[in-house]
Amino acid sequence: MTENRAYVQNLAQEYIEAGKPTEWFEQLYSQANNDDTVIPWADMKPNHNLVQWLDDHNIQGQGKTALTIGCGLGDDAEELCKRGFKVTAFDISPSAIEWCKNRFYKSTVEYIVADLLNPPAKWNHTFDFVLESYTLQSLPTSLSSQAISLIADFLAPEGILLIICRGRNIEDALEKVPYPLTKDQVMKFVDAGLSLIQFEDYLDQEKASVVRRFRATFQK
Ligand SMILES: C[S@@+](CC[C@H](N)C(=O)[O-])C[C@H]1O[C@@H](n2cnc3c(N)ncnc32)[C@H](O)[C@@H]1O
């Protein structure tokens, strides 16, 4: 896994330096050829930081819409669907979306290939719940302001946004992907028109290591 993580970081770096920061994902998913052990973030189960938050807040999705950003292999989208939401889940990688459709062939989740940085206009002001986990941190920081403002626009009035990401202090060096976010970066959602409901900063077990995690909730 460590070896694979290094391979993935180098692949990302190569594409970022070539000015194509979102193209390595498709390369990785298509090369994986349905072997999930090749995808460092693929746990093949819903993110426990999401599940715990949904449980703690007794979230019921019946009659509500949800959007999962950069849905990867689909486990979080399926969890939201299980909780009653009508879910749209998108990823920039056609191979990841194909993988989701094959894994969850009976699912009612609508899996779509789309680019967060150029999303369908019909998603503006549409969703009651938006989940962003680990996509912002996989993009170079130069793209984060644009991505944050687009994510905020997905919310319907009073809609809720849940962000789950790695956290860092401003003085911490940024090396290779993932690029942990600072609290100030996450708080840019307020500049984008949202109100902060809750901000959590904690240590989280991620596979074999412990990482600093931010989990924040905003409302339109
Ligand atoms: C680190 S992975 C996290 C996947 C998933 N959210 C999870 O937690 O397992 C980031 C995901 O975002 C997708 N992604 C990256 N840039 C994107 C973009 N501009 N638009 C849509 N998806 C994107 C990648 O293909 C990848 O599946």
pLDDT in tens, 176-186: 999 999 999 99
* CA-based max dimension of the chain: 47
pLDDT digits (tens, 9 = 90+) for 137-174: 999 999 999 999 999 999 999 999 999 999 999 999 88
CATH number at residue 178: 3.40.50.150
91 falls within a domain: yes
pLDDT in tens, 27-58: 999 999 999 999 999 999 999 999 999 999 99
Give me the domain span that covers residue 142: 44-219
Do residues 67 and 133 lie in contact, with contact meaning Cβ atoms separated by under 8 Å?
no
Nearest CA to ligand 1 atom 3: 134
Average pLDDT over residues 94-117: 98
Model pLDDT for residues 198-214, shown as the tens digit of each residue: 999 999 998 889 999 99
- Residues having CB closer than 6 A to ligand 1 are 22, 25, 41, 47, 70-72, 90-93, 96, 115-117, 133-135, 138-139
**pTM to 2 decimal places:** 0.97
Residue 28 lies in a domain: no
- Ligand 1 atom showing the smallest separation from residue 93 Cα: 25
Direct distance between the N- and C-terminal alpha carbons of the chain, in angstroms, rounded to an integer: 39
C-beta pairs of 182-190 under 8 Å, 24+ apart in sequence: 183/214, 185/136, 185/141, 185/144, 185/148, 186/214, 186/216, 188/144, 188/145, 188/148, 189/148, 189/151, 189/152, 189/161, 189/163, 189/216, 189/218, 190/218
Tokens at residue 194, please?
Answer: 């949202």
Residue 148 to residue 80: CA distance in whole angstroms: 22
Question: How far is ligand 1, taken at its centre, from the CA of residue 59, in Å?
Answer: 24
Tokens of 176: 């290779």
Of 3, 135, 21, give the one whose Cα is nearest residue 76: 135
Whether 94 is covered by a domain: the verdict is yes
Before 157, cis peptide (omega within 30)?
A: no
Residue 147 located in a structural domain = yes
Residue 2, in any domain of the structure:
no
AA identity, residue 204: D
Q: Is residue 155 part of a domain?
A: yes
Amino acid code (one letter) for 1: M
* Res 121: pLDDT: 97
- Pairwise CA distance, residues 198 & 49, whole Å: 14
Mind listing the pLDDT tens digit for each residue in 58-76?
A: 999 999 999 999 999 999 9
Number of domains in the chain: 1
**1 in any annotated domain:** no
Both tokens of 195, joined, read 């109100």
User: In angstroms, rounded to a whole number, what is the distance separating the alpha carbons of residues 181 and 185?
Assistant: 6
Quote the mean pLDDT of the chain.
Answer: 96
